[in-house]
Amino acid sequence: MSGQNHNQDSNPYRKSDCDRISTQEYINEYSHNYSHEHSTDSFSDIFADFEPQNTTDGSYRGTMAKIKATELKYQEIFEQKLAEANTNLKRDRIRVRIKQTGLSLQLRATLPLKPDDFNTSLGKTKKQYDISLGIPANLEGLKTAIEESYELGKLIARHTFVWNDKYLGIRLREKNRKKQQIKTIGELLDKFEENYYKTRQKTVTSQNTFANYISVIKRNFPLNTLATKDNFEKVINPSQGNKKNELIAVSSVFIKTFQLGFTLDVKRDRVTPSYREIPDDQKIINSFELFEKFALNRKNTNICDETDTWEMWRWVYGMLATYGLRPREIFVKPDINWWMSAQNKDNTWKVHKDTKTGYREVIPFVPEWIELFDLKNPQPLKILDRKISKITSVQSINWMRRDISRWFRKVGIQFQPYDLRHACAIRSHLQGIPIKAASDNLGHTADEHTKTYQRWFGIENRKKAFGEVMGQKSLIELQKNEIIALRMENEKLRLEVEKLRFRGEG
Q: Give the residue numbers annotated as catalytic, written as ranges.
A: 326, 356, 421, 444, 453
Which residue, 418, 450, 333, 439, is CA-closest to 384?
333
Task: Decide: 373 and 72 in contact? Cβ < 8 Å.
Answer: no
Report how far residue 417's alpha carbon sits from residue 337's, in angstroms, rounded to the nearest whole number: 25
CA-to-CA distance for 142 and 40, rounded, in angstroms? 8
349 SS3 class = strand
C-alpha closest to that of 404 among 384, 422, 423, 390: 384
> Does residue 327 contact residue 404 with C-beta atoms inside 8 Å?
yes
CA distances from 433 to 345, 438, 465 (A): 21, 6, 13
| 3-state DSSP assignment of residue 210 | helix
Instruction: Give the chain's largest Cα–Cα span.
Output: 134
d(CA 488, CA 61): 60
Contact 182/227 with Cβ under 8 angstroms? yes
Residue 267's SS3 state is coil
Distance, in Å, from the CA atom of 460 to the CA atom of 474, rounded to the nearest integer, reads: 20
What's the first-to-final CA gap in the chain, in angstroms? 116
DSSP state, residue 275: P
- Tell me which residue of 435, 443, 272 sits closest to 355, measured CA to CA: 443
